[in-house]
Structure 1
Amino acid sequence: MVDVLVEYSVLNELNGSLKQIIVELQEAESRATTLEGDIGDPYGRNKLREAAEEFEDGWDDRRKALKEDLMKIQERVEGTGQGWANWDTEVSSKLAVESIEADTMPKAN
């Protein structure tokens, strides 16, 4: 079996990055709607706005599925980090030696 070392800082950074991506995906729909409105119908032509609408319609379902998948991954990353941190704290407190106990422990020769 191969040991794997993943530092808490790496899990925390990944968790934060995933959260940022999720927020970006949530806000993308409103930005697309704003863009379509900003494009408007210059000189009575609407082909560019229609192309933007068509792109947004096609990307919308994929973006929602991607966001849902990333939310699941983010929750697992956060849960893993919290689980290991809790375990680490619990185990280290059990292994801690009181100063009184240190005096009574056997010494190496």
Structure 2
Amino acid sequence: MTDVYIKVDHLNRLNGSLKQILVEFADAARNTDALQNLIGRPDGRSGLRDRTHEFEGGWDDRRNALIDKLSNLQVAVEETCTGWQEFDLELSRSVALEESAGDTLPAR
């Protein structure tokens, strides 16, 4: 089996990107309302405004499903990153203790 190496920094950036995507998805409904208000009723017609409303209605359920899946992924990435950082810190402390223990050994 091939080893896979992923830098913790890349996981941190992925985590941040996932959080930004989740914010955008959460704000999408409000942004659609704002878009509909900007569209208004040009020439007294509401066709374009109605189409944006239909799109939002159809997209809403899919967006919520994506939000759930992305939330789970974001949590997993964050927990993985935190776990590796804690492991790295614990390992570095252990190595530092082992090195300093050598200072107290009797010299030959």
TM normalised by structure 1 equals 0.87
Q: What amino acid maps onto 1:66 in structure 2? A: L
Alignment correspondent of 2:54: 54
Pairing 1:101–2:102 present: yes
1:77 maps onto 2:77 in alignment: yes
Runs of 4+ in 1 over 6 A off after TM superposition: none
What letter corresponds to residue 40 of structure 2 in structure 1? G
CA shift digits 1:8-45 (9 cap, x unpaired):
11101100111111111111110101111121222221
Q: How does 1:1-109 map to 2 (within 5 A)?
A: 1-96=1-96, 97-98=99-100, 101-102=102-103, 104=105
The CA RMSD measured in Å over matched residues stands at: 1.8
State the Cα distance separating 1:95 from its structure 2 match: 2.0
Task: Give the letter aligned to residue 102 of structure 2.
Answer: E
Range 7-16 or range 34-43, more displaced = 34-43
- Number of positions where the alignment pairs a residue of Structure 1 with one of Structure 2: 105
* Residues 37 and 105 of structure 1, relative CA distance in 2, 3 Å threshold: farther
- Structure 1 residues 83 and 105: alpha-carbon distance in aligned structure 2, compared to 1, 3 A threshold: farther
For 1:90, give the aligned amino acid: E
- CA drift of 1:93 comes to 1.2
* CA displacement, residues 25-81 of structure 1 (integer Å, 9 cap, x when unaligned): 111110101111121222221111111100111111111111111111000000000
Tell me how far apart the structure 2 counterparts of residues 36 and 92 of structure 1 sit (CA, whole Å): 56
- Unaligned segments of structure 1, at least 5 residues: none
User: Residue deviations 1:81-101, cap 9 Å, x none?
Assistant: 000111111122112211x51
Gaps of 5+ in 2: none
